[in-house]
Chain A
């Protein structure tokens, strides 16, 4: 424990701001925040706010019955205890991106908010990847590109989990 404390004190004594001057000026109390990190945070912040708004905005009409749902709410207890494979077969709900063709249904409309929240990180990565390349940080640029590809693959609907 003493060794840890000494190491911590040493670390504290050696600390010095390393962020670019502009970023450091913007955030004097957070000296290590890079431009890429700040931009990622800003895009994420905006995306999350929009996503939550969309989620709530689509759930309220669903509860109020403004749009007829694909599965009547009163029938839900018949289906929510089924394995997903049986649920899809029983309800005719489409897996993958099939829901996009059913947006007129109150329950399906909720997938817009869910997809938005599930997609915001992809946008964040897509925004910071070019920043890494511009700053000569090719390794992180490529890591960000590969992450975008991984998340897009997951979102594509090409990967199926099978049924049980």
Chain B
């Protein structure tokens, strides 16, 4: 990590923590709130500002882990914050969607300009996924909390299985483009910077791939997880998109899929600014640091830690949902 970046990130972190402390002073100065300051959170001996401060630190670390582990921020955020913080899962999912959305929005312009995300591939996929995410978000807000927690736990454990078992193909073999992708002219060329070559690609099994994005969209909206964990295998292994374009297009897709779901959460009141702002800022600062230390890290070992974290958080959600560990 460069000295400038380290100073910038440290300063930003310090400023946010100072502001949180300043918030305490403000709350203490307000006569109507003075008595409430002493009030503790439900089931906790901590003052109100402690949880947002811890949330900022944890999301900062999650931002680092997400980059090093090759996963999206949302997939770590929802089970971990939902499992170990006092916030209701409704607000955690709303914040999780906005965390994933913020990361995707920030990465989108660069990915599009470099050709690592493909707009022509993304547009039909995004239409299906975003419409499905609306349905998922509405279902998620209508279902009982224990059902959501249980389903979330099962989904996280499924994601762990996908991470452990799914193979990746740098350049999948696509013998012949299918009729639908040919009609939509979905194909492209991307510049492989490591070799300096241009790689052209086309896709197959487009109808099956699009149908799968109905399920992915529903799950993204229902759990607020983002969906990179599912997007990449479907684009890469099922539809035959080169791995780097799959990863880039998946990240860009989240900026559209999560937009539709995020609006449902915002409009239903399931967004608390005190959760969203520290989370978004924390995970973005963590991502910056994560990218900087990626070159020196050992990705395989870190990925195992991320898988372990997800496994633990998934079990926690499952046990919380079933009432075994509240």
Contact = CB atoms under 8 A, between A and B. Distances in A.
Given A33-B113, A55-B277, A44 B108 contact: yes
Interface string A1-45: 001110110011011111000000001011111101110111011
A95 B304 CA distance: 41
Interface of B is mostly: helix
Interface size on B, as a range, is 35 or more
B174 A48 contact: no
Contacts of B118: 32, 37
Nearest to B27: A74
B119 A162 contact: no
A51 B88 contact: no
Interface in A39-64: 40-42, 44-45, 47-48, 51-52, 55-56, 59-60, 62-64
A148 B264 CA distance: 15
B131 A150 contact: yes
Interface string B176-205: 000000011000111111010111110000
A38 B117 CA distance: 11
Given A34-B120, A95-B268, A154 B189 contact: no
B269 A63 contact: no
Contacts of A31: 115, 189, 191, 198
Given A114-B98, A161-B268, A150 B123 contact: no
A157 interface: yes
B175 to A, nearest CB: 8
Interface in B144-170: 144-145, 169-170
A20 B49 CA distance: 54
Contacts of B101: 117-118
Contact of A7 (B37, B119, B131, B171): B171
A118 B266 contact: yes
Contacts of A8: 170-171, 199
A107 B274 contact: yes
Given A7-B173, A73-B23, A111-B266, A16 B88 contact: no
Interface string B112-151: 1111001110011011001100100111111111000000
A147 B102 CA distance: 20
Interface residues of A, number: 89
B54 interface: no
Interface of A is mostly: helix
Given A64-B22, A81-B87, A164-B143, 18 more contacts: A3-B173, A8-B171, A27-B115, A37-B112, A51-B105, A59-B273, A74-B30, A74-B36, A75-B39, A84-B90, A88-B269, A107-B274, A114-B266, A147-B123, A157-B267, A161-B139, A161-B264, A164-B141
Interface of A: 3-5, 7-8, 11-12, 14-18, 27, 29-34, 36-38, 40-42, 44-45, 47-48, 51-52, 55-56, 59-60, 62-65, 72-78, 80-84, 87-88, 93-97, 107, 110-111, 114-115, 117-122, 128, 139-140, 143-144, 146-147, 150-151, 153-157, 159-164
28 contacts: A4-B172, A15-B189, A15-B198, A15-B200, A30-B114, A30-B115, A32-B198, A33-B114, A34-B119, A41-B109, A48-B105, A63-B20, A72-B33, A74-B30, A83-B88, A84-B91, A87-B90, A95-B267, A110-B277, A117-B101, A117-B102, A118-B266, A121-B255, A143-B123, A154-B261, A155-B263, A161-B139, A164-B144
Closest 8 A-B residue pairs measured CB to CB? Answer: A161-B141, A65-B26, A8-B171, A77-B41, A110-B273, A15-B198, A162-B142, A45-B109
Interface of B: 19-20, 22-23, 26-27, 29-30, 32-33, 36-37, 39-44, 48-49, 51, 86-88, 90-91, 98, 101-102, 105-106, 108-110, 112-115, 118-120, 123-124, 126-127, 130-131, 134, 137-145, 169-174, 183-184, 188-193, 195, 197-201, 255-256, 259-264, 266-277, 280-281
